[in-house]
Chain A
Amino acid sequence: MSATAPVIADQLGKDFREGFLMRKKSALESVSFTIQEGEIFGFLGPNGAGKSTTLHVLVGFLRPSRGRALVAGRSPQEPEARRFLGFLPEVFAFDRFATGRGLLRRFDALSDRPVEGRDERVRDALEAVGMEEAASRRIGTYSKGMMQRIGLAQALLGDPDLLILDEPMSGMDPATRHSTRMVLCARRERGKTTLLSSHILADVEEVADRVLILDRGRKVAEGPIAELGEARAGAVVFRDDDPARFDPDLAPLGLSRETVPGEPDLSILRTADTSAKNAALALLAAGGADIVSVTPQRAGLEEIFLELTATKVTKGTDLGARSEGEGEAS
């Protein structure tokens, strides 16, 4: 195994050309990160954030417009960079007429691995995803979850040093999701690296050592989930017809009010200081403001995600709208 990190992204940028006029549109801007050997690295971001684009650069499908990527110390364009790599794309299709086992055997041969040991490698991969029974059936007859599992099996084939998974859990039943998490953790025990892109935050939270959050092509956070949570301030969201009246009392606590665009009566207070937060809550309650939400100090991955990505505005307004509706009904 080489001494360099399995994945290095250095100031990666990618433009796509779009429409009839082939106008440039940036999908990725200056994204840098390094994945260490033996790590499970979570890759998060809202739809269109550029997750798949980054993964496609890493497997050599796309050429970066700016910056540089290294996989196993090589340019992803070199076939050798993919020798010890397994990839599951977000959308994929396999030859319908092949059986699951036939497909894996063919892929094993495509990876230039020797014939001896092929049966064992194929069996191990099928076993890891619980597809031994369906392996003799044609892929054209598989259900969505079975497709996802055979997709994962082909990525796991030959126990690659680096596994790159783009939304592997979509379409999987809870038991399969669980066993997939187990497979990833078992790989980590053996010192193997995994890059996992997923929208299912609970899965990522459970297995990932570190996460990276992308938003509109830019990196907005990177680190262990616990650390990201600590760095976040707790947030108090409240509603009042004249929120400015609290400002004189909030200022001494070191708090300043943020507003939500399009929601004049909704305000947010952020602080990492528990006593300031408690004092503010007492003050607001006494003043008759409607307290909409209090985000815990040590945020979970979902709070971090919603806070850091554009989704937070939508979430704020949603909450506001709902509490208003409830208020009218009662």
Chain B
Amino acid sequence: MKGSFGALVARGLWRALSDRTAIIGGLLAVTVLAVAGPAASFNVFASGADTATRAAKLRLYGWNYTSSFDFLMVALGFALGANQIAGDIKAGTLFGVLARPVSRGKVFLAGWSVSALLLVGLEIPRSAFLIGTASWLEGRLDPLHLLGALAVVSGAWLALASLAALGTVLTPTYAILAGLLGVIAGNLAFHQEIRIGAWMLDTVGVLLPLPWGQERIVGDALTGASSHAGPIVEVIAYRLAWTALLLFLGSLAFSRRDIAPRV
């Protein structure tokens, strides 16, 4: 990797791994896997059904039992994102970096890349195990299974990018509060039962990076309930597009902002 970007990535990795919130989140995530993984496998293999049913059950139990892992990934994305710029400014450690010949955009993107890779690293054991075992039982790889896992990862990336972008203009605490507010508003607005006029929801859904019935689509792809690739591809595209837009906006806001060390 090129000199200063590589050094920024190395520094980002070091910071993420010494961030207490991130360590606790990571440990919790590993715990969920350690408990839910064997539990799901045991349920499936003790059921004694034929291999096709076993594969279906494995996907259903495997992803459902570890659904708290999805939540942890998003929470971890929040923590890592807020720590990236906002936390670095608050700690006063960013200024030594900004005084060097690196662009702020590079600092922002390098920080995000490190956290994004860490989240992927955390997701790989679960996805590899579930996709691998199910493929082995089914005798083929279901592309929707793979796409579902990609949707989970891109969801975590989106959470990470949102907080990283908010963190370029807010303190860590306010960035997390704003992020949580977004999640709450999203959950309220997109409950199908509350019909405050469908057009309003549609408009908000386009204007804000809020999940619109996406969890069901992702769940269907992961558990094999759906055999249409269209919706899940749309979800992935939506999440990646929003991630890219937020990275662009965050890097722009960071580059234009006044940041100076204060007592």
Contacts and interface: CB of A to CB of B under 8 A. Distances in A.
Interface of A: 52-53, 56, 59-63, 79-83, 85-87, 89-95, 97-98, 106-107, 109-113, 154
Contact of A109 (B6, B258, B260, B263): B6
Interface in B168-191: none
B104 to A, nearest CB: 9
A89 B260 CA distance: 9
Interface stretch (B11-19, B64-72, B152-160, B210-218): B11-19
B99 A87 contact: yes
Interface residues of B, number: 29
Contact of A110 (B8, B18, B258): B8
B230 interface: no
A224 to B, nearest CB: 29
B95 A61 contact: yes
Contacts of A63: 256, 258
9 contacts: A62-B258, A62-B259, A63-B256, A63-B258, A82-B101, A87-B99, A90-B261, A94-B93, A110-B100
A53 B14 CA distance: 31
A53 B10 CA distance: 31
A118 to B, nearest CB: 11
Contacts of A107: 96-97, 100
A89 B98 CA distance: 11
Contact of B102 (A53, A90, A110, A154): A110
B91 interface: yes
Contacts of B97: 107, 110
Nearest to B7: A109
B263 A106 contact: no
B226 interface: no
Contacts of B3: 109, 112-113
B155 to A, nearest CB: 30
Given A61-B258, A92-B92, A95-B93, A110 B103 contact: no
A52 B11 contact: no
Interface of B: 3-4, 6-8, 10-11, 14-15, 18, 91-93, 95-103, 256, 258-263
B251 to A, nearest CB: 14
Main secondary structure of the interface of A (DSSP, over half): loop
A92 B95 contact: yes
A113 B100 CA distance: 11
A106 B95 contact: no
A91 B262 contact: yes
Given A63-B258, A92-B261, 10 more contacts: A52-B260, A56-B261, A62-B258, A82-B101, A89-B261, A91-B263, A94-B96, A106-B7, A111-B100, A154-B96
Contacts of B100: 82, 107, 110-111
In the A-B complex, the 8 residue pairs with the closest CB atoms: A93-B92, A109-B7, A87-B99, A112-B3, A56-B260, A83-B101, A79-B101, A112-B4
A61 B95 CA distance: 8
B93 A111 contact: no
A61 B11 contact: no
A290 to B, nearest CB: 41
B257 to A, nearest CB: 9
Contact of A79 (B18, B103, B262): B103
A62 B91 contact: no
A7 to B, nearest CB: 15
A111 B101 contact: yes
Contacts of A110: 4, 7-8, 11, 97, 100, 102
B202 to A, nearest CB: 35
A115 B99 CA distance: 20
A79 B103 CA distance: 6
Nearest to B14: A95
Contacts of A52: 260
A56 B101 CA distance: 15
A85 B99 CA distance: 8
B248 to A, nearest CB: 18
